Amino acid sequence: MKYDASNATGDAGEYYFGYWVSHKLQWPCRLLDVDLGIDAQVEALDSDGETTGNFIAVQIKAQTEESIQPMSLSRKHFEYWQSIRTPVLIVVLLFPSKKLFFHYVDPLREYLSSDGHASGSLTESDFQRLSTASKVELRKLAYRHASNRLRQRLRPIDWECRRIRNMLDEDRPGYNPNSDAALDEIETINELERKLIELRLSASSLRKKTGNDCGYSASVGKFKKAYDDLSECLSGDMDWKEQTHAVRTFCERSFAHLSLD
């Protein structure tokens, strides 16, 4: 097999990128042997240089031009990038200037057309310069998937809280505060509390590292409102308000342990 100029340029681009990340960003960079659409894996360290376990996947495009040339995205690569739980960057390295540029593959952007072809080329305007000043943005990108996962896990909690409050809305047609359904929601609240406890550590870690708790505190606020509405209903002047010790205990709960402060 002939090792032509194109192969040499591609290999040089990967090796230079690995060197640049290790030397300039001082982050670990691992070049991958098998080309499945990802050439390198970079771990974003925190501001103290500590490992975070958050990675960025990188496809490297080396070009022997003075400016970035248009490029298309194949369906197989894009579908692979969408399937992994790691943010993906396309990095362009220009030779001989050794200037680096990057583009974040946004999962919300429509890159592909319905017929399976790229909907358009990435052009120079899609890229931004990669430099040591990019550290902050790259670190946020590394946390983005963790942030999205947390938001996805909080969403069903928000839905359940909304459902409970709607059920207890006095203005709702068919409102019946004596319904056994209200009693059944005690276990729902208990389960939502358990889920929030599970997510608290992730939310606390993300807030410390990115300044954003990804909606966790807002979800706790919605949870407390749903609890307050249910507690008010259960402790009201109803025939069964003294029915069980569990009901009385439920109405005296505190949720300070859910706070991030």
> In angstroms, rounded to a whole number, what is the distance separating the alpha carbons of residues 245 and 261?
31
| 94 and 38 part of one domain | yes
| 118 and 155 part of one domain | no
3-state secondary structure (DSSP) of residue 251:
coil
Q: What pLDDT shows up at residue 244?
A: 64
Cβ(202)–Cβ(210) below 8 Å: no
Per the domain annotation, does 137 fall within a domain? no
* Residue 114, domain extent: 5-131
pLDDT tens, 55-83?
A: 999 999 999 888 899 888 888 888 888 88
| 87 and 160 part of one domain | no
pLDDT tens, 215-249?
A: 999 999 999 999 999 988 887 645 554 556 777 77
| 12 and 76 part of one domain | yes
Amino acid at 171: D
| 66 and 169 part of one domain | no
Structure tokens at 217: 């505190």
Per the domain annotation, does 168 fall within a domain? yes
| 126 and 211 part of one domain | no
Residues 6+ apart with CB under 8 A from 237: none
| 150 and 46 part of one domain | no
pLDDT band at 177 (very low <50, low <70, confident <90, very high): low
Cβ(92)–Cβ(101) below 8 Å: yes
pLDDT band at 115 (very low <50, low <70, confident <90, very high): low
Per the domain annotation, does 138 fall within a domain? no
Torsion on CA atoms 211, 212, 216, 220, rounded to nearest 10: 60
| 156 and 249 part of one domain | yes
Among 102, 131, 160, residue at a domain's last position: 131
Q: What pLDDT shows up at residue 93?
A: 94
| 209 and 249 part of one domain | yes
Average pLDDT over the chain, rounded to whole?
85
- Lowest mean per-residue pLDDT among 14-18, 51-55, 57-61: 51-55
pLDDT band at 176 (very low <50, low <70, confident <90, very high): low
Note every long-range contact of 94-100, with CB atoms under 8 Å and residues 24 or more positions apart, other chains counting. 94/62, 94/63, 94/64, 94/65, 94/66, 94/67, 94/68, 95/9, 95/12, 95/13, 95/62, 95/63, 95/64, 96/64, 97/66, 98/16, 99/129, 100/17, 100/20, 100/129, 100/130, 100/131
Per the domain annotation, does 28 fall within a domain? yes
Per the domain annotation, does 159 fall within a domain? yes
Number of domains in the chain: 2
Q: How many CB atoms lie within 10 A of CB 158?
A: 17
| 122 and 195 part of one domain | no
Q: Considering the entire predicted model, what is its pTM? A: 0.66
